[in-house]
């Protein structure tokens, strides 16, 4: 691993939205990266960031406040590393333009996630999939590239399932999520819709959960991903919590597994070596809580500064093998923090193009 000699300039695309703001918040004081550019829609371009942004949480970082917002055009955004918080309606075209222009794009959008030559990565789970970038460049003729991270709810489930899949092989999973309002961005969910309510529907969420984990837990065979063959049934619910997606999982493995076996696997799991010791790496990517009523959304969401996924209530499932609960921070581990960790892995591997 090699830390960069001087901070690498990075850009945030879609910088004025909720995910864009989280990128900027997490990149504040980052030892390797420096926010050199912020880009957003034409409507905001040309004006100072602080003027066009309804800043949501904490103080607006001073080093970004006066940056003039650029349009989402690689010719006007100078930075080798680009974090994309763009809406899927525009991400497809814009991200491709940046990749073609030699930039490394770390994307939260869904557009390229399931493309065969695009890595969909949680570093502790499948950092080796980053090697797909080579295939991607060859196939698309790009000098840069696109690396995606998964849907926020799929991320929490995938991290809880990865150690089990590695140890026992998964065959079937039923996952029911209880997701926080911050997952919908800002202004996002109207308070009239969610105060004292549960909305058992989140548009387009269940298909993502049912598809993305197979790719992430798949095997990289040197040139392509061989998807993991387990099947997933997902139920997605919006609940009146601020941050933190909680998932209740019923899990069937290729052979019977006891809670004690699963517990041991979780306790010893460290994830990919490539993901350890980086600026955004938590002390533990996964922690197991033994109290009967944990993890809880509000009480455990900030573990590892939002980068640790908590697992608990590991118990026998009367139908399958295991029941358990997983929880993680949706806008940190499940979005901006995950992207930044992906970038850190690439930097440490020397994969970032010179500025």
> How far is it, in rounded angstroms, from Cα 119 to Cα 346?
12
Burial 85-110 (b: 16+ CB within 10 A, else e): bbbeebbeebbbbbbebebbbbbbbb
Minimum CB separation of residue 131 from its own copies in Å reads 30
> In the complex, what is the shortest distance from the CB of residue 52 to its own copies, in angstroms, rounded to a whole number?
16
Contact 109, 86 (CB under 8 A): yes
End-to-end CA distance of the chain: 19
* 227 makes contact with its own copies (CB under 8 A): no
* 51 is an interface residue for its own copies by CB under 8 A: no
Nearest approach, Cβ of residue 187 and its own copies (Å) = 4
64 counts as binding its own copies under rule CB under 8 A = no
Are 166 and 228 in contact by the 8 Å Cβ rule? The answer is no
Q: Which residues pair with 145 in a beta bridge?
A: 104
In angstroms, the CA 20 to CA 38 distance is 9
- Catalytic residue flag (residue 30): no
Task: By CB under 8 A, tell whether 319 contacts its own copies.
Answer: yes
Quick one: which segment of 157-165, 199-207, 266-274, 342-350 binds its own copies (CB under 8 A)? Answer: 199-207
Is residue 318 involved in binding its own copies (CB under 8 A)? yes
245: annotated active-site residue: yes
Q: Which of 57, 63, 73, 261 binds its own copies (CB under 8 A)?
A: 57
DSSP state of 7: P
- Between CA 111 and CA 86 the distance in angstroms is 10
Least CB distance to its own copies at residue 15 (A):
18
CB of 66 to its own copies, least distance (A): 17
Report the candidate in 148, 155, 115, 150 with the shortest Cα–Cα distance to residue 130: 148
CA dihedral 317, 288, 327, 345 (to 10 degrees): -120
- Angstrom CA distances, 91 to 86, 96, 156, stand at 5, 8, 23
Q: Which is nearer to its own copies, 18 or 105 (CB)?
A: 18
Site for its own copies in 228-287 (CB under 8 A): 231-233, 235, 237, 239-242, 244, 246, 248, 250
Nearer to its own copies by Cβ, of 107 and 287: the residue is 287
Closer to its own copies by Cβ: residue 186 or 220: 186
Q: Which of 129, 245, 272, 321 is catalytic?
A: 245
The one segment of 32-40, 188-196, 212-220, 342-350 that binds its own copies by CB under 8 A: 188-196
Minimum separation from the CB atom of position 202 to its own copies (A) = 9
| Residue 188 touches its own copies, criterion: CB under 8 A | yes
Instruction: Supply 82's token pair.
Output: 């680009």
Here the tokens at position 256 are 């019977």
- Count of residues making up the chain: 355
* Gyration radius (Cα) of the chain, Å: 19
201 binds its own copies (CB under 8 A): yes
Candidate ranges 86-94, 107-115, 155-163, 292-300; the one touching its own copies (CB under 8 A): 292-300
Residue 355 CB-half CA count within 13 A: 15
Among 96, 186, 227, 276, the residue binding its own copies under the rule CB under 8 A is 186
Please give the backbone phi and psi of residue 12, each rounded to the nearest 5 degrees, phi first. -115, 120
Instruction: Kindly list the catalytic residues.
Output: 152, 245
Q: Which residues bind its own copies (CB under 8 A)?
A: 18, 56-58, 172, 174, 176, 178, 181-182, 186-201, 210, 231-233, 235, 237, 239-242, 244, 246, 248, 250, 292-299, 312-313, 317-320, 323, 325
């Amino acid at each position: 691993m090699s830390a960069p000699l001087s901070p690498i300039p990075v850009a945030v695309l879609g910088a004025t939205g909720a995910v864009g703001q989280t990128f900027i918040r997490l990149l504040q004081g980052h030892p390797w990266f420096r926010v050199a550019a912020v880009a957003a829609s034409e409507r905001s371009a040309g004006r100072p960031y602080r003027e066009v942004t309804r800043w949501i949480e904490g103080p607006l970082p001073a080093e970004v406040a006066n940056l003039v917002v650029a349009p989402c055009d690689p010719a006007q955004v100078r930075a080798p590393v680009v974090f994309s918080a763009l809406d899927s309606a525009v991400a497809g075209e814009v991200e491709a333009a940046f990749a073609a222009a030699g930039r490394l794009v770390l994307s939260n959008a869904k557009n390229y996630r399931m493309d065969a030559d695009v890595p969909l990565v949680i570093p502790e789970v499948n950092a080796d999939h980053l090697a797909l970038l080579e295939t991607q460049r060859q196939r698309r003729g790009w000098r840069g590239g696109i690396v995606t991270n998964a849907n926020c709810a799929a991320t929490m489930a995938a991290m809880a399932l990865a150690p089990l899949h590695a140890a026992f092989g998964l065959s079937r999973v039923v996952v029911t999520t209880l997701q926080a309002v911050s997952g919908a961005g800002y202004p996002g969910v109207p308070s009239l819709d969610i105060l004292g309510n549960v909305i058992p529907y989140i548009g387009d969420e269940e298909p993502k959960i049912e598809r993305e984990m197979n790719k992430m837990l798949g095997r990289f065979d040197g040139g392509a991903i061989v998807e993991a063959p387990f099947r997933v049934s997902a139920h997605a619910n919006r609940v009146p919590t601020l941050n933190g997606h909680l998932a209740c999982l019923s899990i069937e493995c290729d052979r019977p597994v006891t809670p004690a076996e699963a517990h041991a696997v979780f306790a010893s799991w460290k994830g990919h070596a490539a993901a350890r010791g980086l600026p955004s790496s938590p002390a533990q990517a996964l922690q197991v809580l033994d109290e009967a009523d944990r993890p809880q959304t509000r009480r455990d969401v900030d573990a590892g500064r939002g980068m640790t996924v908590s697992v608990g209530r590991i118990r026998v499932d009367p139908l399958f093998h295991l029941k358990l609960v997983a929880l993680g921070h949706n806008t940190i581990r499940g979005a901006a923090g995950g992207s930044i960790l992906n970038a850190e892995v690439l930097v440490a591997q020397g994969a970032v193009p010179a500025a």
